[in-house]
Chains A and B, each alone.
Chain A
């Protein structure tokens, strides 16, 4: 036997030793129980946390799915918007080109179908589009007058070939006098052509000239042309609403044009003016 045990057995009281031993064992047991309790508490917390974690993972997945869906929504919406914009643009452009073509065709149709029709019996000139009368204007001369020796015959149909808002005076002639070139631009007041035809002048491919009231009646009668005797308003409207190339249908009766002799006091430049009568 170990001497220390022998020594203890000799000295220590057996009951006291037993009590101390049991107390130590009981203390240790108590600590074990305490640790077990705390572990059990922690385990419960852990279980709760695990449940919460599971819940939060589910929530997180839900949010992730939602975020993905939303992102898809935005992407689809953007694509839809782009398509919508493209289709709106195409629709708009198609409409625009349709309008443009309609405008072109309408105007072209106007040019192709507009003509003038002279009715001597009614003493009026009609602005026509197809079969439709757009406007009609009074003509002063029935029968038409052929001034200054212009041939008093007209074909059944003539065509407008040129228009002048203001009847241009013919160009003045330049000449060299004493080695110096003399040049004076034509003056309106002294131009037979300008004074005879006035404003809103429509030239045809014949001797017939449609024009407003002349600036000078004497010059008018001296200027070789066939005249309708239009008012300013009639000439202005015919000038504005007819086209280059528009036809003018005329009555075919032999007495449709009456020759009128040029007045004796006609300006000296009548012949030159006539030669430039467009």
Chain B
């Protein structure tokens, strides 16, 4: 073969080879880029999956915690079981109260009166059947005091029954009875002795129920609500003033 022809064939062959090679290199680069993209996508999806898995785990834990909370709350409800007959019983009592209201209401005729519950140590001011207000009080503590010297005895109870406010006194002076001295072990002074006069013992006001029984104040208000007196009815200072200002002389007092 002639040299120029040979060279030409070589040139064409090399050119063709270079073209094919270039095409292949291009394809390689493209494939490599596609592979890289796919890898990136895989990485991205994988991270998203991990995040989802974490969220699911968190939600599951949250649901479990709330289920436990519900279980706990349900057990709390079961701690206070509902008495099924309670409402029925209340209805029966309500009808009994209605009958009593009619009967007592006819007798009371809407008059204002005081009620002292010696068992509960509570004082109520009522107008007819309506409760105006209630307060803690202290009634007779019970028990018998004996004066060993003279043999005299006193029982410290608040008598039950219907009294009335005979009169009202402001800034009362307490003339101590004999038992007050016997109780403390002091010698009993004569009736006119100044030792018998005690100021401030009865509080600011007194409502006299007669027969030596009073509604008065106390220096030991922390004992209100418990039987603590020698037969009188003790009230706190504020309630005593309110009662003193509200009820006139002649107001009936029911003590039971």
**Contact of A59 with B56 at beta-carbon distance under 8 Å, contacts A31-B28, A35-B35, A53-B45 already known:** yes
Whether A88 contacts B32 in the complex (CB less than 8 A), given A60-B56, A81-B73, comes out as no
Residues B103 and A109 in contact, CB atoms below 8 Å apart? yes
The size class of the interface chain A forms with chain B is 35 or more
Q: Which residue of B lies closest to A18 (CB)?
A: B13
Bound Cα distance from A91 to B90, whole angstroms: 9
CB-nearest residue of chain B relative to A130? B103
Indicate if B101 sits at the interface (CB-CB under 8 A): yes
Could you tell me the dominant secondary structure of chain A's interface residues?
helix
> Within 8 Å CB of A5, what residues of B?
7, 10-11, 14
**A35 and B31 contact, Cβ closer than 8 Å, known pairs A1-B7, A60-B55:** yes
Q: Does B111 contact A (CB under 8 A)?
A: no
The minimal Cβ–Cβ distance linking A187 to chain B, given in whole angstroms, is 5
Among B21, B35, B101, which residue has the most Cβ atoms of chain A within 10 A? B35
B25: chain A residues at CB < 8 Å are 28
**Which of B20, B35, B256 has a CB less than 8 Å from the CB of A107?**
B256
Interface residues of chain B, those whose CB is within 8 Å of chain A, are 3-4, 6-8, 10-11, 13-14, 17, 20-21, 24-25, 27-28, 31-32, 34-35, 38-39, 41-42, 45-46, 48-49, 52-53, 55-56, 59-60, 62-63, 66-67, 69-70, 73-74, 76-77, 80, 82, 86-87, 90, 93-94, 96-97, 100-101, 103-104, 107-108, 115, 117, 124, 129, 131, 144, 147, 149-155, 157, 159-163, 178, 188-193, 211, 254-256
> Knowing A74-B69, A88-B80 touch, does A111 contact B162 (C-beta < 8 A)?
yes
Contacts of B151 in A (CB 8 A): 187-189
Compute how far the CA of A59 lies from the CA of B49 in the bound complex, rounded to whole angstroms: 11
| Chain A contacts for B90, CB-based, 8 A | 91, 94-95, 98
Q: Is A272 an interface residue (CB 8 A)?
A: no
Given the known A-B contacts A24-B21, A102-B97, A186-B152, are A32 and B31 also in contact in the complex, defined by CB atoms under 8 Å? yes
Hey, which chain A residues are within 8 Å of B211, CB to CB? 161-162, 244
Q: Which of A42-50, A222-230, A259-267 touches B?
A: A42-50
Contact B13 A21 (CB under 8 A): yes
The yes or no answer to A110 lying at the interface (CB within 8 A) is yes
User: Contact: A53 with B32, CB < 8 Å?
Assistant: no
A70 on the interface (CB 8 Å rule)?
Answer: yes
Q: A5-B11, A42-B38, A67-B63 are in contact. Are A246 and B161 (CB under 8 A)?
A: yes
Report A27 CB to chain B, min CB distance, Å: 9
A37 to chain B, nearest CB (A): 10
B93 to chain A: which residues have CB within 8 Å?
95, 98-99, 102
Residues of B within 8 A of A21 (CB): 13-14, 17
